[in-house]
Amino acid sequence: MSKTWDAVIIGGGAAGLFCAGVAGQLGKKVLVLDHAEVLGEKIRISGGGRCNFTNLHSSPANFLSLNPHFVKSALARYSSQDFIKLVQTYRIAYHEKHQGQLFCDDSAKQIIEMLMGECTKGKVQIRYPVVINAISYEGGEWLIQTDGGVEHSRSVVMATGGLPVPAIGATAFSLDIAKQYGLRVIDPRPALVPLSFTSGEFENLNALAGLSLPVRIAAGSKGDRY
């Protein structure tokens, strides 16, 4: 008889590993599946390799949401201070850069190791690389069809992220699954993008290197302001 998991979490990034660690330590049988060769790659490259893991001034006002009460509830249940305590438990040295941004003194890999440590405490099973071919709901349980067989679960958590860095494996998998089950999907668009210049164009901007300040930008055919 095949094993039935309490939760199969699809995505081995920050959200997926954190969710798995918490659920596992609550006594749930948890399996994490990821398609990548290396877990937490987006964590590894964040913050210039030092991971800007939270912000001291994080509040509901910092988030855009159709339901602002969701953010209030989420931060009330688990705040940036709670995450800082977890970081301190693992003796990870960190510093504040500016405007409350916290970075590891050493390496973003420490955050990955911390999240993996939490999964170990929760006896979470992690499998990668795994190709997921289909997800269906039959007979009161979820069936996750993979290249290694079928996984049965009482619940599925989609934690694959969006489309920010295709070069490290980001895909539209979660969006496709959402559409499969009739959820309304707002067309995604870039929220944080680099500006690319030729070497000649960039020379005139060298004096601005290292500066960070509030700006207002107009873009697009309608002159949308941000």
Answer whether residue 1 shows pLDDT above 60: no
Residues 89-99 pLDDT 10s: 999 999 999 88
Q: What angle do CA 99, 104, 107 make, to 5 degrees?
A: 140
Residue 127 host element (H or E) = strand 125-127
- Predicted local confidence at residue 205, as pLDDT: 80
- DSSP 8-state secondary structure symbol assigned to residue 147: T
User: Between the ranges 46-50, 71-75, 120-124, 170-174, where is the mean pLDDT highest?
Assistant: 120-124
Secondary structure (DSSP) of 121-151? HTT-EEE-S--EEEEEEETTEEEEEETTEEE
Q: What is the mean pLDDT of residues 194-198?
A: 75
Whole-number Å distance between alpha carbons of 195 and 217 = 13
The answer to whether the predicted template modeling score (pTM) of the entire model surpasses 0.85 is no
pLDDT at 223 exceeding the cut of 80: no
Domains annotated for the chain, with CATH where assigned, are 4-51+107-192 (3.50.50.60)
Q: 64 versus 39: which is more confidently predicted?
A: 39
- Render pLDDT for 132-168 as a digit per residue (tens, 0 to 9): 999 999 999 999 999 999 999 999 999 998 776 666 6
- Cβ atoms within 10 Å of 212's Cβ, excluding its own: 8
Predicted local confidence at residue 140, as pLDDT: 94
